[in-house]
Amino acid sequence: MEIRVLNYFLMVAREENITKAASLLHLSQPTLSRQLIQLEEELGVSLFHRSKHRIILTEEGMLLRRRAEEIVSLADKTKEDLRHKGALAGTIAVGSGELRSSQFLARLLSQFQKENALVTFALYSGNSDNIKERIERGLLDVGLLQEPVDITKYSFVRTPVREQWGVLLPADGALAAREAVCPQDLADMPLILPERESVRNELLNWFGPYGADLQVTATGNLLYNLAALARESGSGVLTLRLDCAYEGLRFVPLSPGLESGTVLAWKKIQTFSPATTAFLEYSKKYISGMIQDLI
């Protein structure tokens, strides 16, 4: 499979119309159709359901679309890294979750970029599992991961930021006026929990004997969407404290307190671009200096 043909395929998959895709690609329609037929013959599968005005992906086509997006992204990243060989320039792909540590990460990226103006960053937002998966596939160079997380295959530095757990509660409710809430306070109300299983287990351990009978109404990984659901349903959202506000909801810490750490992680055995290598070394020194200042 050629990268060029995969780009043709992705354009057709996106537009669902051969004529429009051919125009955007500056190809004739017969040329594009021939390229797609040859791709299907090479793979031995049908990639599209074709009709007079529209084509849609088959199941095999949807699988190829996911793989092709990864392949094209990785190819583009590789070309970018090689294009700047010999100079500290290029793009560093960084993943991060919704964390207070994200502010620390922003300072780190900004400080590095001030000293290396030709370096740019491609930021990806997701939970730790999503970010680890993309690191494994070579789509991310480094990720800011929320613990608990398995990092046995990674090099890492632990950040000095601690993440505080609490619950977003309807602001007009009695519990929202508390300074903190304990397990029994939340045992009888509908709750929305994080998507990651390891994190849910940590929270269930915090609930102790109340954990077995919780009213879990939903799980998810984007707090903005979970907050909207909480407002409509009157649920509480178990979440980390973030530096933002959600209308109609108030963050109340857990008691006893529960905290999580974060780590900046990257693959142990990996050949990085000069820019990424420099960034990782800079990050280790930057974080070490922050920790020394706190001692």
Written as six digits, the tokens of 266 are: 């990257």
Res 292 pLDDT > 70: no
pLDDT score of 295? 42
- Residue 175 is classified by DSSP as G
Res 29 pLDDT > 70: yes
Region 246-263: what's the mean pLDDT?
96
Written as six digits, the tokens of 10 are: 């992705």
CA distance 121 to 150: 25
* DSSP codes, 203-234: HHHHHGGGGGG-EEEEEES-HHHHHHHHHHHT
Alpha helices in the chain (DSSP H): 3-15, 18-25, 29-43, 59-83, 101-115, 128-136, 183-186, 197-207, 223-233, 274-294
Written as six digits, the tokens of 113 are: 């970029």
Question: Which CA distances in Å does 251 have to 171, 200, 224?
Answer: 9, 18, 13
CA distance 248 to 232: 10
Closest CA to 168 of 219, 226, 214, 212: 226
How many Cα atoms within 13 Å fall on the side-chain side of residue 63?
7
Closest CA to 146 of 109, 99, 103: 99
pLDDT tier at 244 (50, 70, 90 boundaries)?
A: confident
pLDDT score of 86? 59
pLDDT score of 76? 80
Beta-sheet pairing, 236-240 with 190-194: parallel
The answer to whether 115 touches 72, Cβ cutoff 8 Å, is no
How many Cα atoms within 13 Å fall on the side-chain side of residue 290?
15
| Residue with token string 């990460």 | 105
CA distance 274 to 117: 14
- Residue 100 is classified by DSSP as T
Tens digit of pLDDT for each residue in 186-224? 999 999 999 999 999 999 999 999 998 899 999 998 899
pLDDT > 90 in the chain, percent? 72
Written as six digits, the tokens of 160 are: 């000095």
pLDDT score of 89? 87
Tens digit of pLDDT for each residue in 75-127? 887 777 676 555 688 899 999 999 999 999 999 999 999 999 999 999 999 99
pLDDT score of 60? 92
pLDDT score of 87? 62
pLDDT tier at 273 (50, 70, 90 boundaries)?
A: confident
Res 288 pLDDT > 90: no
The answer to whether 90 touches 80, Cβ cutoff 8 Å, is yes
Res 291 pLDDT > 60: no
Tens digit of pLDDT for each residue in 16-28? 888 899 999 999 9
First-residue to last-residue Cα distance in the chain:
55
Tens digit of pLDDT for each residue in 138-162? 889 999 999 999 999 999 999 999 9
